[in-house]
Structure 1
Amino acid sequence: MELAILWVWSGIKERVKPGRKSVQEQQPAAQLANMSTTNMNRGKIVFYEDRNFQGRSYECSSDCSDMSSYLSRCHSCRVESGCWMLYNHNNYMGNQYFMRRGEYPDYMQHFGMSDCIKSCRMIAMHRGNYRMRIYERENFGGQMHEMMNDCDNIMDHYRMSKCQSCNVMEGHWLMYEQPHFRGRMMYMRPGEYSNFSMGMGMGAMGGMSGMRFMSMRRIMDSWY
C-alpha cells in the first residue's frame, strides 16, 4: 500500500505521495514572501449598532472614511485581526482611538467617548527598525531628539517640555498628550509633521489645534 504524508499549510490539509513535493515546497521563495507580507497587512473589524454586539453589524477589512453609509450608530465592536485607529468624525478626523485584537462590548464607556465612531483606518504591520525625530516647537523648531524606542515622559528623558512637530522615518507610532501614554492620542506613520493640527486629519473639527505630546510608543508587530 502506498503511504501518504500529511502536510498542513495555511489551514489546508494536503496529501503528498512519497517522492513528490508539497505545494508549499513548490512555491518560489519570493512568492511565499509576498504572501506573508499580504497576510501581515490584512485586518478585520466588526462594528455593531448597539452595545454587547447587538443590532445590525458592519464588517470592515480596509479603511472606511464614512461609516454612516452602513450604520446609523455604533456602540460596540470586535477586532478579529490587525490593529485599527477609530475616529469620531468622517474622513479620519477628530479624536482618535487605537484598538487591537479583542472585544469591546461598550467601547464608548471604555474610552470615555461621547460620540460614536464615524470612520476607521487599518494600520499595516511594520517589521523592522523604528526611528523618529521629535521637535520642541512647530515647524521642526527648538530642541530635537531622535528616538528608536518608547518614551513614557519626554520631560524626564530629554528635559523637553513638549513636542509640537516630528519626522517619522521608520515604523508606526502612537503619540499621547500626557506622560505615561495617557490622554488623547494620535497615530503617526512615516512622514513629516510640521504641526499636529494638520497631521492625519486632525483639523479644527477635531479640536486638536495646537496639540502637543508628552509620551510616545511604537506599534509593535507583537500586537497583531
Structure 2
Amino acid sequence: MPCCSVRGLNNGATYSLLVGSGIKALGGTYRNLCNPETNTVTATMSTGKIIFYEDRNFQGRSYETSSDCPELTSYLSRCNSCRVESGCFMVYDRSNFQGNQYFVRRGEYGDYQRMGMSDCIRSCRNIPMHRGNFRMRIYEKENFGGQMHELSDDCESMTDRFRMNDMQSCNVMDGHWLMYEQPHFRGRQMYMRPGEYRNMRELSMHMGSNTVRFNSMRRILDSCY
C-alpha cells in the first residue's frame, strides 16, 4: 500500500501515513484526500468530542459532536448535562453562541446549573488546539484607544498588573484565550479567538448584559487538551 506525507493542520508536524479511504491518528480523524500518483495529501484533523444529554447526570437521549453547533435543540429537546471525551469546547445557554459561556475540557459535567448557566445548554463551539506563541493587545477604550498593553502570558488581575480599570477593546493576534469577569480567573467567562474586538461592551450584550467588565485573562494551552 502506498505511503503519503501529511502535515497536521493543528500542530504543523509531518507524518507518514498509508493511503486509504480514511486515516485515524493522534487521537483525531483525518479525511484522506491523497493522490497516489504524486504521494501528496490534503488532510483536516478533527480534534475533540463532546456528548450532550437531555437530562442531568447523563440521562436521556444524547447527541455527539466534534464541531460547532449553533442550535442544539435541532437534535435534543433540551440539554442539561454533557461529557467531554477529548478536546476543549465552549458551551452557551443561548443559541448561536450567545448568553452565558462556560469552558469545558475532558471530564463530566452533570448539571448545567453548576456551570453558572441560567438555562440549559443551547449551543457549543469547538476550540482548536494552538501550539505556538500567544499574543493579545488590550486597550483601555473602544476602537483600540487609550492606553495599550500587550500580553503573551496569563494575567491574574488587569487592575493590579497594568493599573487599568477597564478594557473596552482588544486584538487577539495569536492563540485562543479566556476572559474572566473577576481577578484570579473567576466569574463569567468569554472565549476569545484570533481577531479584532473593537467594542467589548457590545460583546458582553450577547451575554445578556452590557455591564460585564473583564479583569483577568488566561491562555488555552495545549495542556488543556
| Shorter-chain TM band | 0.7 to 0.9
Amino acid at match of 2:192: M
* Ranges of 4+ aligned residues in structure 1 off by more than 3 Å: 29-32, 34-41
Deviation at 1:33?
Answer: 2.5
Q: TM-score scaled to structure 2, two decimals?
A: 0.80
The equivalent of 1:28 in structure 2 is 5
Superposition pairs of residues 86-101 of structure 1, within 5 angstroms: 86-101=91-106
Amino acid at match of 2:217: M
Instruction: Describe the shift of the 1:29–1:93 C-alpha distance in structure 2 as closer, same or farther (beyond 3 A).
Output: closer
The equivalent of 1:161 in structure 2 is 165
Deviation at 1:214?
Answer: 0.5
The equivalent of 1:71 in structure 2 is 76
Instruction: Describe the shift of the 1:94–1:30 C-alpha distance in structure 2 as closer, same or farther (beyond 3 A).
Output: closer
> Which structure has the larger Rg?
1
CA deviation map 1:5-55 (0-9, x unaligned): xxxxxxxxxxxxxxxxx98xx543647727769666411100111111111
Gaps of at least 5 residues in structure 1 are: 1-21
Structure (1/2) with the larger helix percentage = 1
Instruction: Describe the shift of the 1:37–1:188 C-alpha distance in structure 2 as closer, same or farther (beyond 3 A).
Output: farther
CA deviation map 1:149-173 (0-9, x unaligned): 0000011111111211100000000
In the alignment, which of 113, 135, 138 is matched to residue 131 of structure 1? 135
Amino acid at match of 2:198: S
Task: Return the alpha-carbon distance in structure 1 between the equivalents of residues 14 and 185 of structure 2.
Answer: 34
Percent sequence identity over aligned pairs:
63
The equivalent of 1:44 in structure 2 is 49
Task: Return the alpha-carbon distance in structure 2 between the equivalents of residues 190 and 124 of structure 1.
Answer: 11
Q: Are the aligned partners of 1:149 and 1:218 in contact in 2 as well (CA < 8 Å)? A: yes
Q: TM-score scaled to structure 1, two decimals?
A: 0.80
Counterpart secondary structure, 1:91: coil
Task: Return the alpha-carbon distance in structure 2 between the equivalents of residues 57 and 36 of structure 1.
Answer: 26
The equivalent of 2:66 in structure 1 is 61
The equivalent of 1:82 in structure 2 is 87
Number of positions where the alignment pairs a residue of Structure 1 with one of Structure 2: 197
Amino acid at match of 1:188: M
Instruction: Describe the shift of the 1:37–1:193 C-alpha distance in structure 2 as closer, same or farther (beyond 3 A).
Output: farther
Deviation at 1:56?
Answer: 0.6
Deviation at 1:105?
Answer: 1.4
Gaps of at least 5 residues in structure 2 are: 16-24, 30-44
